[in-house]
Structure 1
Amino acid sequence: MPNGVACSVSNCSYWNQGNRCGAQEIAIEVDSHAKNHWNEEFAEEFYGHKDSARMSSVTCCLTFQPKSSDK
């Protein structure tokens, strides 16, 4: 089911025709935290952290998974 999120990364396994993300949920992070492993923390204040971004170019979609090459 399309979620209405536009995406131009056509090599993602969730990419659908019409530049739409086909993932049921997406995870987005600011680039400075993209490599952090928030799910390894045990306190809610770390897992449910909030950030702000001044512009979209400093954000990263963590949902991205490359399409498998065996297709």
Structure 2
Amino acid sequence: MEQKILCEVNNCSYWGKGNKCTADAIYVVSHTGETAENSRETDCKTFKPHDL
């Protein structure tokens, strides 16, 4: 089954054409503990910047 995770962070090593995340798995965390009220309270810990 093809993974369909979209991401607009084009300086991430896992960013691909069409804003597709190419990571095998992603890890998303909440800033506020175990729950989040909205997307601003979350982070993708899989993010890895491109080598400059």
Q: How much identity, in percent, do the aligned residues show?
A: 37
Q: Which has the higher helix share?
A: 1
Aligned to 1:29: 29
Contact 1:3 1:23 in 2 (8 A): no
Q: Which has the higher strand share?
A: 2
* Dislocated runs of 4+, deviation >6 Å: none
Structure having the higher Rg: 1
* Uncovered stretches (5+) of structure 2, i.e. residues with no partner: none
* Uncovered stretches (5+) of structure 1, i.e. residues with no partner: 34-50
Shift of 1:26: 0.3
Alignment-mate amino acid for residue 64 of structure 1:
F
**TM-score normalised by structure 1 residue count:** 0.65
Give the superposed CA RMSD. Answer: 1.4
